Amino acid sequence: MRILLLEDQERLRASTQKGLEEMGFSVDAVEDGDVALEQALGMPYDALVLDIMVPGRDGLSILRALRERKHATPIILLTARAALPEKLEGLNLGADDYLTKPFFVEELAARLRTVVRRQSGAPNHLLRIANLQMDLFTRKVSRGGSEIELSAREFELLEFLMRTPGRVFSRVQIYEHVWGYGMDLESNLVEVYMQRLRAKIDKDQEVKLLRTVRGVGYTLDEPSWTLRSDLLSVCG
């Protein structure tokens, strides 16, 4: 699978390229948006990974230019945690998915495989696990047709878990991805938010989706699923 990666941060660009190549991807990594657009127009890629915030021509500009030219190559946007308007704009312009920094390269690889398998170039606005649904456009969440009110942080936490159902994340991983900075190991913030989320999405539900894996972390999945050891990701 051949991928074009646009990322202006040298260390992140290099580590992402190395990680993807170790998983079997062929990656052309560039830091300049004009170069990225030229290569995207002139070379056959299976998917593009574009940082929204780069100097000069950014990821959204490239996305717009490609979709105007009817290029249906799957595109994943890399965004800052607080960049909600840019995320929504990207989805409206025809992005297939977005990933919030910081991220695990394994998650990016999984997203790439998903959008390439889809092959239609159609954006994916809905996340679903069992009868739990999240709409990334309207930012509405429902279970069994009943709407669930979530705070902005609860929404980000649930989205993070729904992106990779069945994967177990540690407290540190969740904190770094949802809050965006290093965790005070004495903090119980993750536990507090998990309790709030569990009370909202699993309350009065026969099937519980949010599970605690003792000594490891948390996962969102259907009870009938079998947790595989290669989905366990423990960090700290």
Q: Are residues 87 and 148 in the same domain?
A: no
Q: Are residues 102 and 140 in the same domain?
A: no
Peptide bond into 102 cis (omega under 30): yes
Picking from 88, 118, 148, the residue at the C-terminal end of a domain is 118
Is 87 in the same domain as 165?
A: no
Question: CA 20, 24, 25 angle in degrees (round to 5)?
Answer: 55
In this structure, the answer to whether residues 111 and 12 fall within a common structural domain is yes
CATH number of the domain residue 191 falls in: 1.10.10.10
| Digit-coded pLDDT (tens) for 82-102 | 566 777 888 888 888 888 888
DSSP 185: T
Number of domains making up the chain: 2
**107 and 132: one domain?**
no
54 in the same domain as 135: no
Is the same domain home to 181 and 226? yes
Distances in whole angstroms, Cα of residue 68 to Cα of each of 74, 75, 77: 14, 14, 17
pLDDT digits (tens, 9 = 90+) for 140-155: 999 998 999 999 889 9
Domain boundary (63, 91, 118) is at 118
Note the pTM of the prediction, 2 decimals.
Answer: 0.55
CATH number for the domain harbouring residue 85: 3.40.50.2300
Range of the domain at 170: 126-233
Regarding whether 112 and 7 lie in a shared domain, the answer is yes
Asked if 89 and 144 sit in the same domain, the reply is no
3-state secondary structure of 12: helix
Who has greater pLDDT, 235 or 60?
Answer: 60
The answer to whether residues 110 and 6 belong to one domain is yes
CA distances from 223 to 58, 202, 206, 210, 219 (A): 42, 13, 11, 9, 11
pLDDT band, very low/low/confident/very high, at 182 (cuts 50, 70, 90): low
Interaxial angle between packed helices 189-201 and 152-163, expressed in degrees from 0 to 180 and rounded to the nearest 10: 80
Integer distance in angstroms from the first to the last C-alpha of the chain?
A: 32
> In this predicted model, what pLDDT tens digit does every residue of 99-147 receive, in sequence order?
888 888 988 998 898 888 775 444 456 788 889 999 877 889 999 989 9
- Are 32 and 110 contained in the same domain? yes
Q: Are residues 141 and 108 in the same domain?
A: no
Which of 118, 147, 165 is at the close of a domain? Answer: 118
